[in-house]
């Protein structure tokens, strides 16, 4: 992904990659809408030692947090095929990619030293680990492009 002089960004992804992204985003939307336990990590507690205060906080912010994530998914779905994205589009892509990695990462039990060993093809998690790895690469590209605006 490349930051363009006009404030937008150029995206170079193959059609198959874009389709994977769309499909993953749709799966995340279903999990969020169903309030599946898999997305609990996206709504962390605000108070470490005060469940009542955390519950009060959640009552205030949860709808906004959920709505923001669904909006980002909508924007990604609308722009998944585009070669040029706006800054707001890229911020949405970044948020979706991060949410996908958080949910998938939790399911796979990823640790910080995940890439110190090659993925064993016999590991039943191998296909999903490969997807996680690709999402990590893509988010890295997106963050690098966004970061150039803040220098």
DSSP structural state of residue 83: S
Strand 2-3 to 84-85 pairing: unpaired
Strand runs (DSSP E) across the chain, as ranges? 2-3, 9-10, 84-85
Binding footprint of other proteins, residue count (CB under 8 A):
38
Which are the contacts of 85, defined by CB distance < 8 A and separation ≥ 6?
Answer: 8, 9, 11, 79, 93
99 lies in the site for other proteins, by CB under 8 A: yes
40 lies in the site for other proteins, by CB under 8 A: no
Interface pick for other proteins out of 19, 36, 56, 63 (rule CB under 8 A): 56
Interface pick for other proteins out of 17, 27, 77, 106 (rule CB under 8 A): 106
Shortest spacing between CB 18 and other proteins, in angstroms: 21
Residue 138 in contact with residue 95, Cβ under 8 Å? no
1 lies in the site for other proteins, by CB under 8 A: no
38 lies in the site for other proteins, by CB under 8 A: no
21 CB-side CA count, 13 A: 30
Residues of this chain that interact with other proteins (CB under 8 A) are 42-49, 52-53, 56-57, 60-61, 64-65, 68, 94-95, 98-99, 101-102, 105-106, 110-112, 114, 136, 139-140, 143-144, 146-147, 150-151
């Amino acid at each position: 992904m490349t930051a363009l002089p006009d404030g937008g960004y150029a995206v170079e992804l193959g059609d198959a990659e874009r389709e994977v992204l769309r499909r993953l985003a749709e799966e995340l939307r279903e999990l969020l809408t169903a309030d599946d336990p898999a997305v609990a990590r996206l709504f962390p507690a605000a108070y470490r030692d005060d469940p009542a205060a955390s519950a009060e906080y959640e009552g205030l912010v949860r709808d906004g947090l959920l709505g923001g994530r669904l909006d980002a998914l909508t924007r990604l779905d609308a722009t998944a095929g585009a070669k040029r994205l706006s800054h707001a589009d890229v911020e949405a892509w970044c948020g979706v990619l991060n949410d996908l990695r958080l949910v998938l990462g939790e399911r796979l039990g990823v640790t910080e030293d995940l890439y110190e060993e090659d993925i064993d093809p016999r590991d039943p998690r191998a296909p999903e680990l490969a997807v996680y790895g690709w999402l990590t690469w893509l988010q890295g590209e997106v963050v690098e492009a966004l970061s150039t605006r803040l220098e």
